[in-house]
Structure 1
Amino acid sequence: MEAKFNPLIQLNRNAAGTFFKLIFLPLGVILLLLLIFYRPLLSLYHQQQAGASLRAVIPVGDNDYGGFACLRPFIEDLNERDLLLNAATHLRKAEALDPRQAYTFYLLGKTYCLLGDYENAIAAFQRFGELRPRNPAGYLEMGFALLQVCPPNGKCADGLNTYDTWRWAGVRAEDFIPIAERAREKEDYETALLWYQNAQRMGLELRSTIAYLRYLHLRANGDLDNANKALQSAIQMDQGWVDVQMRFNSYYLIGKLYTDQREWKSAEKIYRKMIFDYAESDSYRSRLPELYRQLGYVLTNIALQTGKWDRLEDARQSYLSSWKLDLKSGTLPLVNFLINNQEDVVAAEDVLRQSIARSPDEDSWLAWNNRLGEILRREKRWDESIAIYEGILKRNPQYWMAYIGLGWAKYERGDGLVAALNEFQKVIEILVSKGNGEYAIAQVLVREKQFQEAEKWFVKALNLNPEARLWWVERANAMRISGELSRAIDIYLISIEKFPDFPALYYEIAWAYKLNSQLPEAVMYIEKAIELIPQPNLWFYLRAGIIYEESAQNDKALQAYKLALRIDPANEIALKGVERLGN
């Protein structure tokens, strides 16, 4: 018998199918997806937990050591190590859940480096490289880990080495230079040196650069002797400069070093090479005037030291070259050389008048006219000198130095003390003069032998400008001239304590001790004075000769007189001293 169709039964069946589709099928899909993605998701959770622990140790944005974990010293703080161990535990769980998640191995490698476990770090970075062969980050970190395990070049017995590892990552030696430069700009010389060394080991020629960075690093740490040796090494090699500026700076610094150490011939060689190398450089043409002046200074000292006076003519040409290239910086050094070393007043005056006529700015015009006024005053051309000073003050009434020159010119012309004091008083009224008016009054009162009154003005001047070394010398000299030797010596000693490297103080106190019949002290201080002078000085040698002779140290006296004659072969005091002691 054929079953009858029952619509209710059919409806129930349809509803059951629909229910299955709506409920059980999605649940099945969800379960299937969970089975597929559960492990990766849980792995990601552990990875995130590890990242949080790492960030607690090395915060985001901390770019010390270039941002590389394996460059850092391993972490020693116990609390931070606990955080790192916690990170490692999470990462190992992440690895077990999803062994193909590359970032897990990258974080694991960094974590092991921070713990100091470099061998496990290398293994983690190797796995990262296998999973992400085109990502250089892991290779870079692995390279640094290899350097830690197998110093100094990261070459290990199993064939791994730092530089091949970096090459596999597509890293070039040149890629390290910007990182090194950024570290150098921050004065992080140790880090910069490491990056330059890595670039050198990967094939770039950077020997002089590395030596110069060693100089900077050692100097920053106060090791000046080894710093200077590193700088000399950079210059001697003269190969592998990262840029032209670094080479220029190195040569300039070594030239200054030789100058400070009075190694005149070495300094001359450096400055001549710099002038030759950079004479045609647009970038360094502006530095040539300074180089010529430095050379002039060095050649002057060679002439004074050796008695080879033709070197003074070489020095003159150097100063002339500086002046021709740059009036502003070259005028006064040339004028001072002509006056002090060649006594060529005519040439000095001519240089000043030419410069004044072509003055580049107001400050130069004022300074050069003031120097011309000084020269004319010393030549006893007082009317011309006064006219110069008055011209300066007409143009700038606040130029206080001109009042001082004007006061002295009037005094020396014979206009009297009051005329000088009137001009010096105007200086006091200009606040920026900082005691120069008081000092000028003290000096003119010493000329008038009004020593007690002069002392009051010296004290006023020094209260306004206690760092004026020469004023202390003049104050003590005034006491010495007045006959108060003990007070003078006390002032000299106070001044020496304040300015221990100022040779003029030792030169003057030596004479005070000599006048006070304290010859051992006189000898000690004149020897210290000569030790401190930056270049040979006629007057220091003459004073040494006199003090040695009076102390019955005739061999030393004879030597001092001979040194004086190197500077001035016609000096009567030295000639008579040699005549007395040479027989």
Structure 2
Amino acid sequence: RDLGHLAWAGGDGATALTYWRRIGDYNSVAQLAAQAEAAGDLETAYQAQRTAYAIDPIRAAGGLATFLARHDSADEAIRVLLDARTLTDNDTFQAVWLGQLGRIYADNAQWTAAELAYRELAQVPGRAAAGAIDQAWLLYRRGDGVDAALMRMGEAVQAAPKDARPYYETARLLAQAQRYNDADVWYRAAMQHDPDNPRYALAFAQNARSAGELTQAEARLQTALTNHGKDAVLWAELAELYRQLAQPEAAVGALTQAIAVSSEPNAGYHRRLAALYTELGDATAAQAEEEIALAIEGRGRP
């Protein structure tokens, strides 16, 4: 294992993969795949994904298929998933792979194949709602209309009436169709079923902003922050709203709070703060924030 890490540190991915495949070190191979892809070394990333698949095909199939689909190899991704489905009857894996197959088919306008995958997903124990939700979005993407999609969303709600997600997805669909008032009803239902999820509160506020109701959006964000005051995304959304309202000072305050409560350094927040300081005419503060962003990205001054 250590020899593999030394080889990878020296830029020799092929040798590292040889070492790790020999000892079956799946985790090191998967980590190399992610690092190589992030660095733009797609050939090494592909070889690493294939090595991971050779070590543990059931565990690696989803990641390999995602990589292939992301890099314009949809047919190969589909073959990987279809092959993987023959390796185990485990419901959890089957559900994941069927969902992936549906998305890849849909992304390539293979609508019938996508619909069949989602229908089969709905037959997996405990996945009826997920399959119905995926079918609803498929119908909407295919152009079958909002009402047809809403019928499938209704099936999802019936399948899992205590689960917040079907209500949330129904709201998203209505918002996508610019039926903002109707979406509000379903966002409220999602929040009632899962009041501890800040993403639902965020979407509720964003729905008001999309409808042009900026004052209402601010009120919703303020309410959300009373319950989720340590959620950086909510603070960042409030900052963006203040920027839209031409209140840069308030935006600075909200974004500063987002940075303070963020679980890890976020270069994007600092860069947005730099832009706000530039708008306020504070070049020194803007430069400082830009340097912080560069440092977080590993491109700052030594």
**TM-score, reference length from structure 1:** 0.41
Q: Does 1:325 align with 2:62?
A: no
Structure 1: gaps (5+ residues): 1-247, 252-264, 304-308, 567-583
Distance apart, 1:436 and its partner CA: 1.5
- Which residue is 1:443 aligned to? 172
Unaligned runs of 5+ in 2: 298-302
Offset of 1:368 from its aligned partner? 0.7
Per-residue CA deviations over 1:219-276 (Å, capped at 9, x if unaligned) read xxxxxxxxxxxxxxxxxxxxxxxxxxxxx9xx9xxxxxxxxxxxxx99x86xx9x999
**Residues 88-112 of structure 1, C-alpha deviation per residue, up to 9 Å, x if partnerless?**
xxxxxxxxxxxxxxxxxxxxxxxxx
Give the C-alpha shift of residue 496 in structure 1: 4.4
CA distance in 2 between counterparts of 1:297 and 1:550 reads 38
Measured after TM superposition, the shift of residue 428 of structure 1 is: 1.2
Deviation at residue 455 of structure 1 after TM alignment: 1.3
Counterpart for residue 293 of structure 1 = 30
Checking the alignment, whether the CA contact within 8 Å between 1:407 and 1:420 is kept in structure 2 is yes
Cα shift at 1:347: 5.1
Q: Sort the Cα spacing of 1:547 and 1:327 in 2 relative to 1 into closer, same or farther, 3 A.
A: farther
**Aligned-partner Cα distance in 2 for 1:380–1:526:** 40
Deviation at 1:299, TM superposition (A): 4.8
Q: 1:521 aligns with which of 250, 255, 267?
A: 250
- 1:473-488 superposed matches below 5 A: 473-488=202-217
Counterpart mapping for 1:26-175 below 5 A: none
Which protein, 1 or 2, shows the higher relative CO under an 8 Å CA cutoff with sep ≥ 6?
A: 2
Cα deviation code 1:340-387 (max 9, x no counterpart): 6x5665554443333234445232122211122123334444333223
- CA deviations over 1:259-314 (Å, ceiling 9, x no partner): xxxxxx99x86xx9x99997655xxx4xx32333334445555x3xxxxx33x554
Deviations 1:166-209 (A, max 9, x none): xxxxxxxxxxxxxxxxxxxxxxxxxxxxxxxxxxxxxxxxxxxx
1:423 CA displacement: 0.7
Structure-1 residue corresponding to 2:98: 369
Deviations 1:494-516 (A, max 9, x none): 44454456553344333212111
Match of 1:405 among 134, 138, 142: 134
- Structure 1 residue 395, shift from structure 2 partner: 5.8
Amino acid at match of 2:247: Q
Aligned counterpart in structure 2 of residue 351 of structure 1, from 80, 84, 88: 80
Contact 1:400/1:433 (<8 A) preserved: no
Q: What is the CA–CA distance in structure 2 between the aligned matches of 1:382 and 1:542, rounded to whole Å?
A: 41
Match of 1:14 in 2: none
Distance change >3 Å, CA 354–CA 524, structure 1 → 2: farther
Per the alignment, residue 106 of structure 1 pairs with none
Q: Using the alignment, how far apart are the partners of 1:377 and 1:528 within structure 2?
A: 40
Corresponding position of 2:300: none
Task: Find the aligned partners of 2:259 and 2:103 in 1 and give their Cα distance.
Answer: 28
Q: Which moved more, 1:545-554 or 1:460-469?
A: 545-554
Which one-letter code corresponds to 1:504 in the other structure?
A: V
Q: Which residue of 1 aligns with 2:193?
A: 464
C-alpha displacement at 1:406, in angstroms?
A: 0.4
For residues 525 and 319 of structure 1, the distance between their equivalents in structure 2, rounded to whole angstroms, comes to 41
| Counterpart in the other structure of 1:421 | 150
| 1:172 match | none
Kept in 1: contact 2:274–2:289 (CA 8 A): yes
Q: Aligned residue for 2:118? A: 389
* Cα shift readout 1:431-452 (whole Å, capped 9, x = no counterpart): 3761221111111111222222
* TM-score, with length taken from structure 2: 0.72
User: How far off is 1:481 after superposition?
Assistant: 0.9
Q: Aligned to 2:200, what secondary structure does the other structure show? A: helix
Counterpart-to-counterpart distance in 2, 1:551 and 1:348: 49
Matches of 2:258 and 2:61, distance apart in 1: 30
- Kindly provide the amino acid, as one letter, of the partner of residue 520 in structure 1: E
* Distance in structure 2 (CA, Å) of the matches to 1:453 and 1:398: 26
CA separation in 2, counterparts of 1:427 and 1:493? 31
User: Is the Cα–Cα contact under 8 Å of residues 270 and 289 in structure 2 kept in the other structure?
Assistant: no
Partner secondary structure for residue 466 of structure 1: coil
The structure with the larger Rg is 1
Deviation at 1:325, TM superposition (A): 1.9
Residues 443 and 498 of structure 1: CA distance in aligned 2, closer, same or farther (over 3 Å): same
Give, in angstroms, the shift of residue 468 of structure 1: 3.1
Aligned to 1:318, the other structure's residue is in SS state helix
2-side partners of 1:535 and 1:360: how far apart? 42
Q: 1:70 aligns to what? A: none
- Per-residue deviation at 1:401? 0.8
**Equivalent pair of 1:548/1:557 in contact (CA under 8 Å):** no
| More deviation, 460-469/323-332 | 323-332
- Aligned-pair distance for 1:407? 0.6
Provide the aligned length of Structure 1 versus Structure 2: 283
Structure 1 residue matching 2:136: 3-state secondary structure = helix
Is contact 1:331–1:355 with CA below 8 Å preserved after alignment? Answer: yes
Counterpart of 2:26, as a letter, is: P
Give the letter for the 1:467 counterpart. Answer: D
Distance 1:445 1:391 in 2: 25
User: Displacement of 1:559 after TM fit?
Assistant: 4.9
Task: Note the C-alpha offset of 1:409.
Answer: 0.9
Query: Which residue number in structure 1 is paired with residue 183 of structure 2?
Result: 454
Matches within 5 A, 1:162-241: none
SS in 2 for 1:429: helix
